[in-house]
Amino acid sequence: MKKLLVMVLLLAVLVSGVLLASEIRRGGIVNITPMKQGVLIMNFNPYSPNALEVAFGCFYESLIYYNQMTGRIMPWLAKEYVWSDDLKSITFVLRDDVKWNDGTPFTIADVLFTMELAKNNVALDVSGIWAQGLVDVVAKSSDSITFTFDRVNTTVIERFSDFFIVPKHIWSNVADPLTWAGNVNPVGTGAFIYEQGSFTEQSFRVVRNPNYWQMGVDGKPLPYIDGIQYISTTNVQVPFQLARGEYDWAGYFVANIDEVYVKANPEHHKYWLPEGNMVFLNLNNGKEPFDNYNLRLAVAYGIDQEEITRIMASGAVPSSIAGVKSAYLHLAEEALEKYDVEYDPDYSQYLIEREGYTLNRRGIYEKDGRALSMNLYVPTGWTDWIAGGEEIVRQLREIGIEAILTQAAWPSPYKDMMFNGNYEMLFGISQTGTNPHFQFDTWTHSRHWAPVGETAGNEWGMRYKNPIIDEALDAYTKTPDPDEQDKYISIVIEQFLKDMPSVPLFFNPVWFQYNTSRFVGWPSPENPYALPRPNSMHKMPILLSIHLRN
């Protein structure tokens, strides 16, 4: 048996550094903007597509928490897990100190019941766990449960972070869990409970569960805060409300944020923009001119990501040429030393001229009567991408490539061109997902590849394949060892940089504004212990770490 996790340390120690009991001041209600704007509708049903995000994590919890900032797994309702020798089964051992907030003990029966709900109705399989080849779920003892799959894929462990357990003694009496509207006093294992009578069209409150199972460094149940006031807002209202200090945590786009928000209280008004999905310049490797490596590399050397994001002024975060988030750049260190690409227009022109191109009277490179002139497609009306595209046109013009910015309607014909390969250059998105494996597997694995004219199945139709990348991505799924997995990702990144099939540009930001005038302990660029998103389990390490300022 391969044991991967036996961690029973305090959450506060794991996620936000070592805290001393003397540093903790309890109390206070944290003001947060919910994800849903405008009028709020009470819906705490975790199976409903319209559920408020507080249901996930605050009320209902998962067996583990997969931290996307670190690529590592943390224990939650399960205190440990063990892979079988053939890596087709995983056994979780549950904690024995957890109760539902009505006092009923949390048991294996609740996990089995929740899994059975998902098995019998795909709409209730929120994490898609049964679609991953799950064939059997068996209780091995009073505190352990084994999941058996029909294939080896250790990345399936990540799915359990989004599988929220519901109490059997409540939900077994519900006729239709998907549409149940009677969940007005949620019974969960989470750190918060709904404050009865607090719900209005604009606001509601949850308060700390006094009997929560996780303990703080002061020896008392977490959380340190007394509760959360969710206050609805809109894109128009939120900049002014943030400037007035009405929110402790918000996640909205704010134009000119330094002037509007930070300047109002420079000491306490903070923001952090972690990377979200990555936007890249998709070069069609399946047709001229970008079936030529030196021309792809020339474009890469001719692109200044910092200047593009400055011009866009949208909060976009410049990407490393490696294409991975900053939290994973340590996996690219050796490859970047070997293949690093920095803005160098002169070297771009050198690479182009090596391929036999010469400048014509218009200052555009041409060869055999064909100029390096092509369309650069962006979706119609996507103003931030259009601004970025205009700057790329200018930068490429400096190195002798004529890119003609061309808007095409989304989804058609833009997606048609993209997936059929009917383009030379276009803006695309690489979904970063849970980690670099997810990103590169959906983006570069050859099982998604198709020749030009046929429909490609990869992210945004990139025409690229590399057998070494395939081998490394596949090997990643066949080991549960995170250090081994890191080595495979390093191989993938090195091959990507060696081939330079497309050019990473920038990451769409995860907007996160936080106010330290009342509460401290927030994640930050200096202490990025959790992804500051209010959905799923991402918010929980934060809500269990923040506390009143001393």
pLDDT at 468: 98
CATH code of 191's domain:
3.40.190.10
The pLDDT tens digits of the residues spanning 357-392 come to 999 999 999 999 999 999 999 999 999 999 999 999
Beta strands in 129-253 (DSSP E): 134-139, 144-149, 192-194, 203-208, 227-231, 249-250
- What gap in Å lies between CA 537 and CA 60, rounded to an integer? 9
* pLDDT over 70, % of the chain: 96
Judge if 344 and 294 occupy the same domain. yes
DSSP class of 20: P
Q: What secondary structure letter does DSSP report for 532?
A: -
Give 152's pLDDT tier (boundaries 50, 70, 90): very high
* 292 has a pLDDT exceeding 60: yes
Which residue in 100, 110, 126 sits closest to 46, CA to CA?
126
pLDDT of residue 459: 65
The total number of structural domains that make up the chain: 2
Residues 25, 50 share a domain: yes
CATH number, domain containing residue 499: 3.10.105.10
List the structure tokens of 228.
Answer: 């959360």
pLDDT of residue 278: 96
Range of the domain at 424: 277-509
Residues 262 and 303 in one domain: no
Residue 7 scores a pLDDT above 80: no
Do 465 and 543 lie in a common domain?
no
* pLDDT for position 89: 98
pLDDT tens sequence across 325-336? 999 999 999 999
Question: What distance in Å separates the CA atoms of residue 241 and residue 247, rounded to the nearest whole number?
Answer: 7
**Do residues 123 and 14 both lie within one domain?**
yes
DSSP 223: P
Beta-carbon-side half-sphere exposure of residue 205 (alpha carbons within 13 Å)? 14
515 and 502, same domain (yes or no): no
Tokens of 294: 């030196």
Q: Both 45 and 181 in a single domain?
A: yes
Beta strand residue intervals within 217-309, DSSP E: 227-231, 249-250, 269-272, 275-283
pLDDT above 80 for 415:
yes
Which whole number is the average pLDDT over 267-283?
96
Same domain (yes/no): 202, 112? yes
* Helix, strand, coil percentages for the chain (3-state, nearest 5): 30, 20, 45
Pick 483 or 19 by higher pLDDT.
483
Contacts for 331-340 with beta carbons within 8 Å, 24 or more apart? 331/436, 331/486, 331/489, 331/490, 331/493, 332/490, 332/493, 332/494, 332/497, 334/490, 334/494, 335/490, 335/493, 335/494, 335/497, 336/497, 338/494, 338/497, 339/494, 339/497, 339/498, 339/500, 340/497
**Residue 9 — very low, low, confident or very high, per pLDDT cuts 50/70/90?**
very low
Decide: 364 and 400 in contact? Cβ < 8 Å. Answer: yes
Residues 227 and 295 in one domain: no
- Model pLDDT, residue 34: 85
How many other CB atoms are found less than 10 A from the CB of residue 53?
Answer: 18
pLDDT at 210: 96
Q: What angle do CA 308, 350, 322 make, to 5 degrees?
A: 45
Distance CA 313, CA 10 (A): 40
Residues 240 and 320 reside in one and the same domain: no
pLDDT in tens, 10-24: 344 344 555 666 689
pTM for the model stands at 0.92
Q: Are residues 30 and 173 in the same domain?
A: yes
Decide if 532 contacts 274 (C-beta within 8 A): yes
What are the pLDDT digits (tens) for 195-213? Answer: 999 999 999 999 999 999 9
Q: What is the mean pLDDT of the chain?
A: 94
Is the model's pLDDT at 295 over the cut of 60? yes
pLDDT band at 344; cut points 50, 70, 90: very high
Band (pLDDT 50/70/90 cuts) for residue 2 is low
507 with 319: CB under 8 angstroms?
Answer: yes
Structure tokens at 419: 């997936």
| CA–CA dist 477, 438 (Å, integer) | 10
pLDDT tens digit sequence for 66-105: 999 988 999 999 999 999 999 999 999 999 999 999 999 9
Tell me, yes or no, whether 113 and 254 share the same domain: yes
The yes-or-no verdict on residue 518 having pLDDT over 50 is yes
